[in-house]
A and B are shown apart, each in its own frame.
Chain A
């Protein structure tokens, strides 16, 4: 056997260029586009300021029900005719929301984009929202959520979020609501939310071979019949981490794994430490080779995977670790995970670990940003967070330039191992005593 033992070094680095960004106002709305020459598929995405943060208190899930109701018939055609029309173009309407925005998109061969945008606008601007249809969609969504909440995860996520942010706040409740809030929605809630937020022009994002597309015509279609301006989006929410850790036990009798969700609040998206924080999160839990996955999966064999990261939106953020571990090792897995968070907070990161994190995150920009959908998502980030056209180039440079000291400082400042909410969803009878014995914090049982 004559394998070559010397590991080859890299060849000459080839520059990555984010596609040229086009931005302009058209027909009362904003158009943002990127040119992908020769690409056979194109994406159009309408971005509306109608994220979950716009849902009124106690009406969680409203945006999701509206997203599904958009396709239940429009001013021009019924639900079946609409489905056949849009699917005949080879696409489906993809509609959904996050904390900061509502997004509706289509992806089609480039020559079909004008027709697809017409259908997109028809559903967004002129849905019928017949009361019987809205009630049926609402009931189906409540059922779908009950199905989803039968899986491990959603109840633990909800318990974590409520403890971090307070269930009295919209951002302390699940992003998509829960089966009960959805079931309680009224037809009028949906119609009012639509008239309030879906008739403003918003931003049209177009990605594809722009030489084959008439951007102004697409924007005119998307913004036809709209009015109203931008509405204040609110400032960052200040959230104080707990002063001592707490274990929340969510009972799931018979569970063969325990679902872990450990976390605390962290800064919002525009915080100046965004890049070093992300790197610290990557060293701790963001990559396969991170500290958490290495110890809990590769060394101990407790899990199929464990990850941790900082996630932020315009107004708030959180650090969280998530995993599923076999029931018998729930307590040791929890102790060791908290141990890695503590070690990272106290002693920071090392240069070899940071080198991997840095070049991984930077390299991922070239590897991931290939498809029209991925580029559209990147443009969405620019719009939602008011970032410049050269943001991705600057981000790449900032990632590569980050030093051990600043990343360790970010870990020290933004990790709070002493104030963690430790949610464990599993068979309470089997794990309660062991969890209490860890002395990581008081054990309370969730009533959800």
Chain B
């Protein structure tokens, strides 16, 4: 067993304005990954402003004080770099991987949009990106069968007012209502150096990055009080199983079973991660063996289980299966529920445990095999747990999970009374 999941150097500093800087030098390839985690996600959004954190992510590519509209993309791609950004319930991250000689350009671009977005933000840009986001919603959630499953599961798992109750993409109505002053205020509130972590991994040194960070970010003022997200650690259970059935244009019945488990980063969630792999990763998993191969009621390519790595409330575990032709949804739902129930009653064997740990190890090292994968990981641990070095703990923690712990966590969080079941039925079968 390795003692560490992160055998590379990690150096950190904090600028006077509160910006935390994390550097991991690796001279293997002439590339650097730059990654900024801002502690702002859809969990911070008040009612009536759903989708704002994500729409804001789009606005961050549309120019700032010294960067013209569209120039950000042009400069990064024009130097050979890859770039993107993502928003989830917990946070927003921005990242670039560039040939190492363009590190300074990348830091200049990131500093300019951290410190200088508001003056460049126009109504025209807001209107245009609002349209782009509405198109994203259509393309990813509305125009594909089962595309809105995640949007439906969240409100079933988390009650109104809970920070995870609404999905990051937001509602069309809220997006339509968004006005320019609200977005200017949003940037001022959250895009502050003391609400961010800058991580650089690759062909550079800590000394170089610390100096460049001071040069470009050092003058950006901190914000004294960053508005906190509502607390979501305690989710009152419904006490009875929750079900929702959707009759719509889908090609086959599909069932999702979801539970609230433990927050990402806790011992309970480490157990959940191994449990999810035993349950639903690969052809050797319980779901595949029982439903796809054994009873043959589920389509083999569409059966699985996974945890969603959210850190500020009990994170979801989702198991799903899609019916083979002729199999009724009730039978599939019963089969899926039974396999989940058995995690508490049928002990996980040594072979099942070894298989899950081997798959998790490979997945971990795959994430670590790129500079951008490492940068995002370090940014996460610095943001969520205050120390990037804690990234090294995750793999050993998974490898230490026991069969007894899995049974205990299953008994604790996977009870039928805490279950959310979402079923899709094709229109013609109703």
Most buried by A among B284, B301, B354: B284
Contact partners of A230 in chain B: CB under 8 A: none
Report the count of interface residues on A (CB-CB < 8 A).
76
A88 to B82 CA separation, bound complex (whole angstroms): 34
Residue A394 is within 8 A (CB to CB) of chain B in the complex? no
Least CB distance, B215 to chain A, in whole angstroms: 7
A9: B residues at CB distance < 8 A: 105
Q: Residue B251 contacts which of A11, A88, A147 (CB distance < 8 angstroms)?
A: A147
| A12 to B101 CA separation, bound complex (whole angstroms) | 6
CB neighbours (8 Å) of B135 from chain A are 257, 297, 301-304, 324-326
Contact between chains at A366 and B31 (CB < 8 Å): yes
Interface residues as binary, B303-344 with A (CB distance below 8 Å gives 1, 0 otherwise): 000000000000000000010110000000000000000000
Inter-chain contact B115/A3, CB cutoff 8 Å: yes
Chain A: minimal CB distance from B339 (Å): 15
Is the beta-carbon distance between A39 and B369 smaller than 8 angstroms? yes
* Total of A-B residue pairs, C-beta within 8 Å: 227
- B387 at interface (Cβ–Cβ under 8 A)? no
Distance (whole angstroms) from the CB of B395 to the closest CB of chain A: 11
In the assembled complex, A108 has its CB within 8 A of some CB on chain B: yes
Q: With CB as the reference atom, state the residue of chain B lying closest to A152.
A: B143
Q: How far is the CB of A278 from the nearest CB of chain B, in Å?
A: 15
Judging by beta carbons under 8 Å apart, are B250 and A150 in contact? yes
Stretch at the interface among B152-160, B356-364, B403-411, B415-423: B356-364
**Considering only CB atoms and an 8 Å cut-off, how many residues of chain B contact the other chain?**
83
Which residues of the partner chain B approach A13 to less than 8 Å between Cβ atoms?
Answer: 99, 101
* Cα distance, A362 to B102, chains bound together (Å): 14
**Residue A437 is within 8 A (CB to CB) of chain B in the complex:** no
Q: A294–B74 Cα gap in the complex (Å)? A: 11
Cβ < 8 Å to A, chain B residues 230-272? 249-252
Question: Which of A79-87, A162-170, A211-219, A382-390 forms part of the interface with chain B?
Answer: A79-87
Q: Are A11 and B101 in contact (CB under 8 A)?
A: yes
User: A226 to chain B: which residues have CB within 8 Å?
Assistant: none
Query: Is the pair A367, B99 in contact by a Cβ cutoff of 8 Å?
Result: yes
- Distance (whole angstroms) from the CB of A4 to the closest CB of chain B: 6
B219 in complex: contacting residue of A1, A84, A143, A150, CB < 8 Å: A1
Are B128 and A371 within 8 A (Cβ)?
Answer: no
- B residues in contact with A92, CB < 8 Å: 282-283, 359
Contact B99 A363, beta carbon cutoff 8 Å: yes
Given contacts A12-B101, A87-B355, contact A289 B70 (CB under 8 A): yes
B-side residues, CB < 8 A to A, are 28-31, 65-66, 70, 73-75, 77-82, 97-105, 108, 111-112, 115-116, 127-132, 134-136, 138-140, 142-145, 203, 215-216, 219-221, 249-252, 282-284, 288-289, 293, 296, 299-302, 322, 324-325, 351, 354-355, 358-359, 361-362, 365-366, 368-371
| Those 8 A-B pairs whose CB atoms lie nearest each other, nearest first | A363-B80, A301-B131, A90-B358, A83-B283, A14-B30, A90-B362, A356-B78, A11-B101
